[in-house]
Structure 1
Amino acid sequence: MTGNLACEVLRRNFRRFQLTSPECDGHALFEHADALVEILEPHPRVSIVLSTSWVSVLGFDRAKGYLPQALQKRVRGATYHSTFKSWWDSATRHQQIAGYVMRHRLTDWIAVDDNDVGWPEEKRHHLVHTDEQSGLGDQKAQEILAHKLANGVAK
């Protein structure tokens, strides 16, 4: 949710991590989480699965801990698991998500990601593809996600 791949540089600071490159000025980890809180508010049954490299860097609990409490309550898992580390590191984001979907037999799901590499056309209706710089800070991405949540994932 930072929406800025160049900002994926971390510096440890008193047991917390901070983004630390010139491109990160004005950005924070999961910086658009409040927008997601607002979008999900009318949908109390929606759960979240983290599909982010931050889980492999920080660990599941620490990555989840960077989210607002309203989102933390919704988190049910992560696509990353250390058991699959060698595979996960070489898989596309779509493969990571598809693996989780298959293992957990999900049928009604939406992925929000700035990485659309490897997404087959027949699965793209599950994807809200965001801009890598603005992520969910982009109003259009927010509208698309809200529409999919309100109307179901279009096939």
Structure 2
Amino acid sequence: MILFLDFDGVLHPLWEPAPFNDWQLEQTFGPRPWPGPFFMHAPVLVELLGPYLDQVEIVISSTWGRKRDLATLRSLLPSELAARVTDAVHHQLPPQQDIQRGDGLTSRWEEIAFYREHARPDIGDRWLAIDDDDLGWPDGERHHLAHCARDLGCIEARAAVARALAGWRSLKDPLAIRRPVPGRSP
């Protein structure tokens, strides 16, 4: 399986909480980007991927891939994840100036779709994206998205990833579907 992995909003928060949890300050000054520490929830992803890790190829779909080479991207992750990283979506997209001229890659969905069509048409239906950005995802493709409305520090995000991985496993492993339950006839 190919796992498209986002960083911001998944492996660490996207936004810094408003001071004193004051929503009026946030409304007045806007949210501020997360200042760090980064990748603080990467160990959570290692744990979630544990049973699947040897079957996963990770492609970085984060914008962190725009200005960092593959070795640098790998170095940001725990060794268990780094060893599975094979590519980055942004390394296969048209140059940024071409995108701005109208290639239309304005959402994470469009970037992943472009990558799948042009860089890896061989993956077919064997992929999953873990991302906090669900903008533009077609309804018929949402089963490929483990949407993290918040980062993996949040129990709901961890549950979304666990459900998506379990769903992938049951769809991809015919034995998981047909395996007899002890004490029941097939």
Q: State the aligned residue count.
A: 139
Instruction: Identify if the C-alpha distance between structure 1 residues 124 and 64 changes in structure 2 by more than 3 Å, giving closer, same or farther.
Output: same
Partner of 1:32: 41
- State the distance in 2 between where 1:37 and 1:114 align: 18
Letter aligned with residue 92 of structure 1: S
Partner of 1:68: 78
Aligned pair partner of 2:106 in 80, 84, 91: 91
Can you give the 5+ residue segments of structure 1 that lack an aligned partner in the other structure? 8-21
Aligned pair partner of 2:139 in 109, 116, 121: 121
Can you give the 5+ residue segments of structure 2 that lack an aligned partner in the other structure? 1-6, 17-31, 172-186
Q: Does 1:56 align with 2:96?
A: no
1:152 positional shift: 1.6
Larger radius of gyration: 2
- State the distance in 1 between where 2:93 and 2:132 align: 25
State the TM-score, normalizing by the size of structure 1.
Answer: 0.76
- State the distance in 1 between where 2:93 and 2:134 align: 24
Letter aligned with residue 94 of structure 1: W
Partner of 1:100: 115
State the TM-score, normalizing by the size of structure 2.
Answer: 0.64
- State the distance in 2 between where 1:102 and 1:82 align: 11
Q: Percent identity?
A: 33
